[in-house]
Every structure is written in C-alpha cells, then in structure tokens.
Amino acid sequence: MHRRILFLSVGLWIILLPGCVHTRNNNNGTMTYRTLTPEEERVIVNKGTERPFTGEYYQHKEKGTYHCKRCDAPLYRSEDKFDSGCGWPSFDDEIPGAVKRVPDADGYRTEIVCANCGGHLGHVFEGERFTEKNTRHCVNSISMIFKKEDTMQKTDTAIFAGGCFWGVEHHFLNKPGVISTTVGYIGGHKDHPTYEEVCTGKTGHAEAMQVIFDPARVSYQELAILFFEIHDFTQVNGQGPDIGEQYRSEVFYLDENQKKTIEELFSILKDKGYKVATKLTPATKFWEAENYHQEYYSRKGSKPYCHAYRKVF
C-alpha cells in the first residue's frame, strides 16, 4: 500500500424534500431511508442540534438498542448509556463499526455519524472521566429510534486481517447477512494508531476489517470460509506484493465459539495439504482507520489487485 495512489471521491447522494424517499447509491445498491420530518431533516441531514433536556431519550432507561432514525442501523446498546447531565443522551461506547468519527466543521470538535448512511448523530468527547471508558457520545434523541430488547435484531461481530484491508472489505460488502463493515487496525501496542504509523511496521498492528452481521442470515463459519477463500492464507507477513507484518493473515476471535470454529477450519485446510500461516489471536482494541480507507474500492469503482475469490472448502 505504500506505493498506492489514493483516489478520494464523493459518493452519489440524492436528497429530496421532506416526505420523499431518500436514496444513496453504493456498492450494495440503493438504500431506502425513512421519511423524515422537517425537524429531523434539520438535525440528521443538515447537522443541526436539538435543544438540551428536550429529547425523547435524554432520561430514557429501558433495555434495548438505539437505531439510526434514517436508515435503522443499530448504533448503541442501553447498557452503554449513562447520565452525564449534559442535556442529551450519553453513551460511553457504540456497537462496533456502527459510528464513524469525522472532524467537525467548527475545527475543534469531533462529529459522529451513522456509519451506514452518514446521518448526523452528535459529537464525541474524551477525557471527561464520566465512566471508566472515558468517552462520551453526545447524541441527539431525534437522530435515533429505540427498540426494546425483545424486538431487537440480533447482531454479532467478527474481525479478520488478510493483507490490505481495502481488498478484504471489498469481498464482504455484498455478502448477504452482513450489516456493516469497518476497516482499521488491531493487535498492536500503540493507542490511536495512524495509517502512516502502521505502515512503518513498528506499531505491531495488522490492517484488519471488523464486520457486523446478522447471525440469523449468515453464520460466523460462513464468513470465516469467505475470509480464507479471498486471500492467500499460506503467505507469512504479507499478501501478494504487500510485504510487512501489518499485512499478515490473522483472525481475532471474540469468544470461544469463534476460536473453535477457526480451529476446525485450520484442521480442514491442513488435511487438504495447505500450510496455514494464519494466526489465531484473542481480539484486543480495534481502532477505526481514517475515513478515506472505508469502502475504498466501492468509491474508486475498481477491483482489488491482490484479493480474488477462489473456492477452497
């Protein structure tokens, strides 16, 4: 990746007047958005702010999940909500891969948006020591819809590293059952690593992809099989022409069931005569990569040069 030219492009958005359907063209086709009221449009689309202490979810305490008002993607769990006294709903963590951080237009704050549709949520602050996670997502109630625990869509998370994260993500975006993907860094010893730092090979991180999926539609095993079938899992510390520890093949498991699944696939691959170089490691903190890395090939309109599907299992 150190030899690549980065092409930044803006996705095609069609914003219609309130009462019409909002659509966005992306690699998954056209997404349909919920019709927004003028006030919802002011906040979610035009990045406004609702008045403090007035939002529906400011003092809300039911168990469940908070979803994006516009596209219905799950954003926050009730167990991560806390009372900061700021006047807006506060969360100290998000559902992995659900929220993206972008520099605010004011030049000093960090805006948070829905990773699925880009709808404005609010801002994120760190270092205030409200909770042990030392993070506060300050979210507009009007940007969210709450779903009680018994009506929630069940989701799960997987993390795979298999060379350049652009190519790995490309092959997962259209997989049925995949809700969202985020590329980033994991497995290193430095907090908040940058792309340039990871590329030096001195931080210990791997370029990786975090995927949120619906286990009712696709299993972890199916995703793991896809992972092995889109990259060379026999290559050590590299993938094709991309050479370095950051391009290693590695699965970061989040529970014992995931670990067992990968171990079973290792056994099958070895029985087939493959010399598996993929590492199996407990997941640590996943650091989201810079915005221009997200869905890179979809925005560029091209295909990966070192990731191609071939049937293995």
Concatenate the DSSP letters of all residues of 12-43 into one string. Answer: -EE-PPTTSPPEEEETTEEEEPPP--HHHHHH
Residue 299 pLDDT: 78
List 71, 164, 199, 306, catalytic entry: 164
> In the annotation, is 164 catalytic?
yes
Residues with Cβ within 8 Å of 274's Cβ and at least 6 positions away in sequence, in order, are: 233, 234, 312
Residue of 114, 138, 199, 306 marked active site? 138
The per-residue pLDDT for range 75-98, each reduced to its tens digit, is 999 999 999 999 999 999 999 889
Question: What gap in Å lies between CA 31 and CA 136, rounded to an integer?
Answer: 29
Rounded CA gap, 20 and 183, in Å? 32
Active site residue 138: yes
Taking the CA atoms of 231, 234, 238 and 240 in sequence, report the sign of the dihedral they define.
negative
Task: Extract the tokens encoding 186.
Answer: 């994991």
Confidence of residue 222 (pLDDT cuts 50, 70, 90): very high
Each residue's pLDDT tens digit, 56-80? 999 999 999 999 999 999 999 999 9
Coil, strand, or helix at residue 32?
strand
Determine the angle formed by the axes of helices 220-229 and 256-271, rounding to 10 degrees. 40
Q: Taking a C-beta distance cutoff of 8 angstroms, is the pair 95, 77 a contact? A: yes
DSSP 290: P
Q: How confident is the model over 13-56, as pLDDT tens digits?
A: 333 323 333 444 333 444 568 899 999 999 999 999 999 999 99
Going by C-alpha positions, the residue among 152, 158, 148, 43 that lies closest to residue 97 is: 158
Nearest-angstrom CA–CA distance, 99 and 241: 32
Q: What is the largest CA-CA distance in the chain?
A: 63
Domains of the chain: 13-151 (2.170.150.20), 156-300 (3.30.1060.10)
Instruction: State residue 24's pLDDT score.
Output: 40
DSSP string, 200-244: TT-S--EEEEEEEE-TTTS-HHHHHHHHHHSS-TT-SSEETTEES
For CA atoms 32, 117, 283, 266, the dihedral sign is positive
In contact, 144 and 67? CB cutoff 8 Å: yes
